[in-house]
């Protein structure tokens, strides 16, 4: 990071006094000085032993158990630097080829970039830059969003006039991607946290998009649902974020093994409740940024067992791996994050409302 090591050490030692652990000052000083003298290891150079030691045992064992052929690479990618990826706003550019147009703008600013492999509106920067340095960012020409997250739009098969629910929407990355991908839809963006929901509003305003915002727990239908069914639902469920550890390394420390079971129960509950709000013939896309099948395929499997009207709507895509219940994306070096998508269709024909 940009702070020189001696300054960071000094500040941390001083902070010990404020934390009321003054007696640990010499110990903190000694440990940090030793660490700062060690050579930095880039993720690409680290041995498997070093990588494995950087994860709590339970994450390492869970990944190993679930992905016996890929676990080492998954852990390695979790320690690597993620790329900065953009989503070009196709509604913004005065061009038939908005992505090429934006690439040209980046080239003018001497920002090196390339097109993403799977998202038609994705651009990956060779080196991250502050968003303020991105051409026409404030005006809404582009947004920062990983390629895996951008893939939700095509899965929804949106059409003009559709009534769409984005059920766990904040900070609105996918809400905005959906609205950019199809004009003339009516989108409700719902989130349980008011402070996070405010971010959706900020993003909508910058991109000049419209949605109805609601703050409520999604599973409490009586709090927010007016009884009118949705054509499409995106459930980007709260999860362990175990597939995006490279962007949130604190997960290794903060997430506990017991959280996964509790999250899985919430995910199934959200899916079960929201299913009632989907029209017959409608499509629900279930997404997480988890690498654990317990939060992904198992949720879909459990749900299908209890819901006669639900059928798996297979995702044929060149990305990720088919799990039998959806597609798992693994974090890629210089590519997309880890992610999971499953798609469900509600049996029956359209009902007049
Ligand atoms: C994975 S994040 C969503 C990211 C968002 N879809 C995007 O693309 O920017 C999950 C969100 O679910 C919200 N959440 C958690 N529990 C919820 C619940 N019971 N009902 C609705 N939202 C919930 C969290 O506040 C969080 O914003």
pTM of the predicted model over 0.85: yes
Q: Whose CA is nearest to atom 2 of ligand 1?
A: 238
**What does each C-alpha distance from 350 to 108, 280, 293 come to in angstroms?**
50, 5, 32
Whether 265 lines ligand 1, by a CB cut-off of 6 Å, is: no
- pLDDT score at 350: 61
Cα–Cα distance, 112 to 101 (Å, whole number): 14
- Whether 289 is catalytic is yes
Q: What is the CATH number of domain 84-144?
A: 3.30.70.1170
**227: its two tokens:** 């009884």
* 3-state secondary structure at position 126: coil
CATH level 2 (architecture), domain 147-346: 3-Layer(aba) Sandwich (3.40)
Candidates 207, 213, 238, 270: which one to mutate for ligand 1, based on the most atoms within 8 Å of Cβ? 238
CA distance 156 to 234: 8
Instruction: Read off the tokens for 350.
Output: 């359209």
Identify the pLDDT of residue 351: 57
Q: How far is the CA of 197 from the centre of ligand 1 (A)?
A: 9
Which parts of the chain are beta strand (E)? 84-88, 113-115, 122-125, 142-144, 163-166, 186-191, 212-215, 230-236, 278-288, 310-312, 321-322, 327-329, 339-346
Radius of gyration of the chain (CA): 22
Q: Which residues of the chain have pLDDT under 50?
A: 352-353
Q: Which pLDDT score is estimated for 3?
A: 86
State residue 349's pLDDT score: 77
Instruction: Measure 216 CA to ligand 1 centroid, in angstroms.
Output: 11
How are beta strands 163-166 and 186-191 bridged, if at all?
A: parallel
Structure tokens at 317: 């895509």
Q: How far apart are CA 104 and CA 31, in angstroms?
A: 48
Per-residue model confidence (pLDDT) at position 352: 47
pLDDT at 176: 98
The verdict on the CB of residue 217 being under 6 Å from ligand 1 is yes
CB of 192 shorter than 6 A to ligand 1: yes
The DSSP output letter for 209 is -
Q: 174: Cβ below 6 Å to ligand 1?
A: yes
Q: What is the largest CA-CA distance in the chain?
A: 73
**In the prediction, which pLDDT does 8 show?**
92
**pLDDT for position 40:** 76
């Amino acid at each position: 990071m940009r702070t020189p090591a001696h300054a960071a050490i000094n500040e941390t030692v001083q902070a010990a006094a404020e934390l009321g652990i003054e007696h640990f000052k010499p110990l903190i000083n000694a440990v940090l000085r030793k660490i700062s003298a060690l050579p930095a290891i880039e993720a690409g150079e680290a041995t498997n032993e070093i990588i494995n030691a950087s994860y709590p045992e339970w994450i390492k064992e869970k990944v190993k158990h679930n992905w016996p052929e890929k676990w080492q690479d998954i852990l390695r990618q979790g320690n690597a630097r993620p790329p900065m990826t953009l989503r070009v706003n196709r509604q913004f550019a005065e061009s038939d080829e908005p992505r090429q147009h934006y690439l040209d703008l980046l080239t003018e600013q001497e920002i090196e970039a390339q097109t993403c492999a799977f998202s038609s509106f994705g651009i990956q920067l060779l080196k991250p830059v502050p968003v303020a340095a991105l051409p026409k960012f404030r005006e809404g020409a582009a947004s920062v969003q990983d390629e895996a997250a951008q893939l939700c739009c095509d899965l929804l098969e949106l059409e003009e006039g559709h009534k769409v629910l984005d059920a766990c929407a904040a900070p609105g990355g996918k809400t905005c991607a959906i609205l950019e991908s199809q004009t003339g839809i009516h989108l409700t963006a719902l989130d349980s946290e008011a402070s996070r929901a405010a971010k959706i509003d900020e993003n909508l305003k910058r991109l000049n998009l419209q949605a109805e915002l609601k703050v409520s727990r999604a599973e409490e239908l009586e709090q927010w649902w007016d009884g009118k069914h949705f054509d499409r639902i995106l459930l980007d469920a709260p999860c362990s974020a175990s597939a995006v550890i490279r962007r949130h390394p604190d997960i290794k420390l903060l997430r506990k093994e017991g959280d996964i079971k509790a999250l899985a129960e919430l995910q199934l509950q959200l899916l079960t409740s929201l299913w009632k709000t989907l029209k017959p013939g409608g499509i629900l896309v279930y997404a997480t940024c988890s690498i654990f099948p317990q939060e992904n395929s198992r949720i879909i499997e459990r749900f299908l067992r209890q819901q006669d009207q639900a059928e798996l709507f297979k995702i044929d895509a060149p990305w990720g791996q088919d799990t039998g219940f959806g597609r798992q994306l693994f974090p890629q070096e210089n590519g997309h994050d880890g992610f999971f998508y499953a798609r469900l269709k509600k049996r029956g024909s359209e009902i007049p409302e």
